[in-house]
Amino acid sequence: MKTETTRAAPDRPGQGETLPADAPAVQEQSLRREAGLFQVVTYGVGNIIGAGIYVLVGDASGLAGNYVWLAFLVGAVVALFTGLSYAELAAVYPKAASEYVFLGKAYGNRTLSFLTQWMMLVTEVVAAAAVALGFAGYLSTVVQVPLIPTAAALLVVVTVVALAGVRQSLVVNTVLSLVAVGGLLLVVGAGVGRFGSVSYTQSANGVPGILAATILVFFAYIGFDNISNLSEETKRPEKTVPRGLLISLSLSTILYILVGIASVSLVSWPKLSASEAPLALAVSTVLGRPGFDVLTVTALLTTLNTVLVLLMVSSRIIYGLGREGALPRVLGKVDKRTGAPIVASVFTLAVALAVLPLGQIGTIAKVTSFGSLLTFALVNVAMLHLRRVAPHLSRPFRVPLSVGWVSVTGLLGVVSCVVLLSQFDVLSFTLGMLLPVSGVALDVLMRGRGGLTSTDRSLHQPHEP
């Protein structure tokens, strides 16, 4: 007869896990810790500053008019509330597949944690495919190329770069992130001389237009959360990840607001909203055709970087889920030579290629924002719950402004996410709800194939500060 032992998790008082005494130990493969604060910040900026700002600023100005800067500010506030919750949780649990771990540690419920991570994963992979199509679209304005084959080729090339290892990927990401920032600074520089030339309080559609624009531009902020998925490849992640997350979000917010003001200062919002390359158009009013060409090339490189980051993040999420047993464990393998999750990366590429025909960046942006907001609301709730049930848990970073165990910013994060979710149109809401539904179906399938049955073992391991 097998004896059983119980391990209790100190961060979940009173809960434990019953395992056979002779159960084989799982040998966990680890990613390499290569990233310092600078790399984490540039990775975060590269996550946040991408195709969204270069493509969606025109559509956003069509909704909010000259108030487009306010849409970026509101989006930043919502992102900051949730970013603080991510920073606190990532400092405590520096793991890949971070949302899965956060919800698992808070509630010990596999289905809830899997659904949360699944929603984020699907939005990342689909967004990578959509942004790759955006790259092909930009390129087609310079040279005639077929859209889908070009997008597919980009996905393959970027995956090869990612498979070279995190160090090489971070070098490429750092260079391209600096290019992205340089492009936005060029827009700001071109517009500085015309700051104050228009009223920045003219709205195309009033408050509803500003809220609609906020939903759209929130897509441009998505990515700050992905920094937590780099935790296992970061030096001293309990300190570096929270700092990198908040610095990245702050820098991106300042740039976005300045770009919003500069854009409507250079070009009227109706013309801006009608352009396929709004920022290139804005710069061309001062720098002519050379300025347009420079911004077009910058947008191409920025879009490429966005695809790289999205594929890297998606593969790390899949790796984490495979290692935790929520997906087939083969996906949790790491290449011994490069330290990259090679199986997860190839799987991510295959899924991204499969969804290329779905690419409509406006629709994808809304669906991605919906899935992200729903995930962010759950992460904020998890942070609040852990504050209540595990008040003595070691927290290297603690969100400021609290009343007892209640984090004011965490509570505002939940409220702001729910408010924005209520503003989605019926089509976007319906498509967005397919994310959790598909997650439930996959979770049931994995249980039926003999996966862990109620709560994952890893979610009940003792916390190691």
Q: pLDDT at position 359, please?
A: 57
Predicted confidence band of residue 229 (pLDDT cuts 50, 70, 90): low
Q: Residue 154 corresponds to which amino acid?
A: L
Q: Where are the beta strands (DSSP E) in 85-217?
A: none
Report CA Rg, the chain: 22
| Residue 407 CA, distance from chain mean position | 23
User: Quick one: fold of 33-448?
Assistant: Amino acid/polyamine transporter I (1.20.1740)
Residues 463, 11: contact at Cβ < 8 Å? yes
Give 263-296 pLDDT, tens digit per residue. 999 999 989 888 877 888 899 999 998 988 898 8
- What's the average model confidence in pLDDT over 319-339? 80
Instruction: Characterise 325 by phi-psi region: left (phi > 0), alpha (psi -120 to 50), beta (else).
Output: left
- CA–CA separation, 320 vs 347, rounded Å? 13
Q: Find all residues with CB under 8 Å of 288, minimum gap 6, and list them.
A: none
How many of the other CB atoms lie within 10 Å of CB of 382? Answer: 24
Give 81-120 pLDDT, tens digit per residue. 998 998 889 888 887 677 888 888 888 877 888 888 888 8
The length of the chain is 465
Closest CA to 221 of 346, 45, 382: 45
Closest CA to 136 of 121, 122, 157: 157
Higher pLDDT, 324 or 383: 383
Alpha helices in 142-277 (DSSP H): 147-163, 166-192, 206-217, 237-266, 269-274
Q: Residue 456 corresponds to which amino acid?
A: D
Q: Find all residues with CB under 8 Å of 413, minimum gap 6, and list them.
A: 78, 81, 82, 84, 85, 376, 377, 380
Give 249-270 pLDDT, tens digit per residue. 899 999 999 999 999 999 999 8
Q: Residue 221 corresponds to which amino acid?
A: Y
Q: Residue 288 corresponds to which amino acid?
A: G
Predicted confidence band of residue 358 (pLDDT cuts 50, 70, 90): low
- CA–CA separation, 341 vs 97, rounded Å? 13
Closest CA to 347 of 159, 69, 141: 159
Domain boundaries, the chain: 33-448
Compute the half-sphere exposure of residue 181: CA atoms within 13 Å on the CB side of its CA: 19
Q: What percent of the chain has pLDDT over 90?
A: 18
